[in-house]
């Protein structure tokens, strides 16, 4: 989506940073980002609705931001230093999916939402949307990035956690509760982003499925697969 369009601008900004760490292995950044991201998620999960909890939210925001920054640097570092590998790409995408799930579950399980089940459902939908992109790449050969992208979701996550901390410090309360089945969940920045992520994952799944259907069916028409029971052509 919108933030994906600024990828080239972002890469031009990080090039000086990449040059300064050119002796590092890209996988080192990936491995460092993982525990930082998990700690950031746990800080959100364990934060109470108090001024001390607000500071924990700010700390979680910083940790998640560091994790995202390192994750954004490993690819450019690999490209500029000639260390692009299949294993590095696989490791990076695996850790991305793990952190996506950790953050949304920790946000939903926190006192600011209080619904682990919603977090698990949101995580499943997010992973389902991501799966459609990688499955399209496996079948059609091209990655599908349409829908509610990770960059958009991550920025909203960081902003919502920091905003929740500010709300506590300035004594801004929740804005009521959601209607219907979600009437036990308070309306606040974190719960809003959890719901956006859940519906965004579902929308991403649907839009990527439809696009992949068209692309794969076109490939089938242009280059059909050999059929095991098809009669052999006579010589």
Is 19 a known active-site residue?
A: no
Confidence of residue 16 (pLDDT cuts 50, 70, 90): confident
Q: How many CB atoms lie within 10 A of CB 89?
A: 14
Among 47-61, 132-146, 206-220, the least confident range: 132-146
pLDDT over threshold 80, residue 11: no
pTM: 0.84
Q: Does residue 105 belong to any structural domain of this protein?
A: yes
Confidence of residue 79 (pLDDT cuts 50, 70, 90): confident
Number of domains in the chain: 1
Q: Does residue 226 belong to any structural domain of this protein?
A: no
Per-residue pLDDT reduced to its tens digit, 195-222: 999 999 999 888 888 887 778 888 888 8
Where does 47-115 have alpha helices with state H? 51-80, 86-109
Give the domain range for residue 68.
2-218
Q: What share of the chain is helix, strand, coil (3-state, %, to 5)?
A: 75, 0, 25
Q: Are 45 and 109 spatial neighbours (Cβ–Cβ below 8 Å)?
A: yes
Q: Which of 71, 74, 92, 96 is catalytic?
A: 96
pLDDT, position 90:
86
Residue 77 structure tokens: 């570092």
CATH for 164: 1.20.120.1760
Residue 94 structure tokens: 């695996």
Q: Are 158 and 39 spatial neighbours (Cβ–Cβ below 8 Å)?
A: no
Per-residue pLDDT reduced to its tens digit, 161-200: 999 999 999 988 889 999 988 889 999 999 999 999 999 9
The whole-angstrom separation of Cα 152 and Cα 203 is: 14
In DSSP terms, 177 is beta-bridged to: 186
Q: Does residue 233 belong to any structural domain of this protein?
A: no
Q: Does residue 125 belong to any structural domain of this protein?
A: yes
pLDDT, position 162:
96
Q: Does residue 234 belong to any structural domain of this protein?
A: no
């Amino acid at each position: 989506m919108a933030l994906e369009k600024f990828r080239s601008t972002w890469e031009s900004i990080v090039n000086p940073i990449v040059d300064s760490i050119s002796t590092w292995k890209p996988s080192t950044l990936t491995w460092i980002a993982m525990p930082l991201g998990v700690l950031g998620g746990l800080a959100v999960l364990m934060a109470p609705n108090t001024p001390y909890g607000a500071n924990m939210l700010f700390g979680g925001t910083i940790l998640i931001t560091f994790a995202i920054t390192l994750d954004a640097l490993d690819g450019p570092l690999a490209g500029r230093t000639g260390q692009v590998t299949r294993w590095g790409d696989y490791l990076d995408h695996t850790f991305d999916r793990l952190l996506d799930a950790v953050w949304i579950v920790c946000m939903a399980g926190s006192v600011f939402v209080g619904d682990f089940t919603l977090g698990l459902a949101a995580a499943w939908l997010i992973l389902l949307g991501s799966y459609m992109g990688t499955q399209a790449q496996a079948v059609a050969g091209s990655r599908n990035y349409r829908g509610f992208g990770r960059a958009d979701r991550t920025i909203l996550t960081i902003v919502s956690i920091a905003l929740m901390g500010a709300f506590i410090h300035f004594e801004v309360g929740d804005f009521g509760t959601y209607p219907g089945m979600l009437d036990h969940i308070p309306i606040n920045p974190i719960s809003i982003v959890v719901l956006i992520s859940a519906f965004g994952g579902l929308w991403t799944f649907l839009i990527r499925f439809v696009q992949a259907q068209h692309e794969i069916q076109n490939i089938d028409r242009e280059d059909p697969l050999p059929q095991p029971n098809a009669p052999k052509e006579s010589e």
